[in-house]
Amino acid sequence: MSANAKTYGLLAQFDTAAGIFEAAIQVRDAGYRKWDVFTPFPIHGMDDAMGLKNSKVGYFTFCGGFTGFFTGMTMIWFMNKFDYGLVVGGKPLFTPLYAFPVSYELTILLGAFATLGGMLALNRLPKLYNPLFKSERFKKATDDKFFICIEATDPKFAEARAVLEKAGAAAIELVED
């Protein structure tokens, strides 16, 4: 530890998926709020084990899709009513049936953009630096090891080492920022 380094958190290594799953349940039940799990592959049920709620990205998608649909309908109505009001074969100047393809495509386009933007915003991405990258042990998170990191900003951080040891961590290290 260097003299003027700021503590980021505690990093605990686990050797199996079952081990980190049980540890995540124990950390959640201990009342921690600022922590995360890092695994080399998705583990079914980890969201529930961590106590995570449903993502809010769907709201961004709905708003983007609704905006696209409304924009498409309004654009076709405006063009047919004011820009090019030509009656052909007695057809009406506007009908949703003819405006639907444009509205449908704009719904998908703006919904996709809103989904991407919402995901980036909610995940605070792009994040080009994380203090965990300094840890040599953490490099195995993409290979065959499983990690839990409890951040130092969590109110219950003082008891974190004891909770991680009780959960069966193979190794625990202090990570500095």
For residues 118 and 66, membership in a common domain is answered with: yes
For residues 16 and 50, membership in a common domain is answered with: yes
Does a structural domain hold residue 2?
no
For residues 136 and 162, membership in a common domain is answered with: yes
For residues 63 and 118, membership in a common domain is answered with: yes
For residues 61 and 49, membership in a common domain is answered with: no
CA distance 20 to 16: 6
For residues 93 and 63, membership in a common domain is answered with: yes
Q: What is the CA radius of gyration of the chain?
A: 25
Q: Which residues lie across from 171 on neighbouring strands? A: 13
Does a structural domain hold residue 15?
yes
Per-residue pLDDT tens digits of the chain, which is 177 residues long: 556 789 999 999 999 999 999 999 999 999 999 999 999 999 999 999 999 999 999 999 999 999 999 999 999 999 988 888 888 888 888 889 989 999 999 999 999 999 999 999 999 999 899 999 999 999 999 999 999 999 999 999 999 999 999 999 999 999 998
The 10s digit of each residue's pLDDT in 60-92 is: 999 999 999 999 999 999 998 888 888 888 888
Does a structural domain hold residue 88?
yes
For residues 75 and 103, membership in a common domain is answered with: yes
What is the total count of domains within the chain?
Answer: 2
Does a structural domain hold residue 1?
no
- Residue 166: CB atoms within 10 A of its CB come to 11
For residues 91 and 146, membership in a common domain is answered with: no
For residue 101, what are the domain limits?
57-122
Burial class (CB in 10 A: 0-12, 13-18, 19+), 125: exposed
State the SS3 of the chain: CCCCCCEEEEEEEECCHHHHHHHHHHHHHCCCCCEEEECCCCCCCHHHHHCCCCCCHHHHHHHHHHHHHHHHHHHHHHHHHHHCCCCCCCCCCCCHHHHHHHHHHHHHHHHHHHHHHHHHHHCCCCCCCCHHHHCCHHHHHHCCCEEEEEECCCCCHHHHHHHHHHCCCCEEEEEEC
Q: List the 7-14 sheet strands across, edge first.
A: 35-38, 146-151, 7-14, 171-176
Q: Given 122, 141, 159, which residue is the final one in a domain?
A: 122
For residues 62 and 50, membership in a common domain is answered with: no
For residues 78 and 100, membership in a common domain is answered with: yes
For residues 50 and 66, membership in a common domain is answered with: no
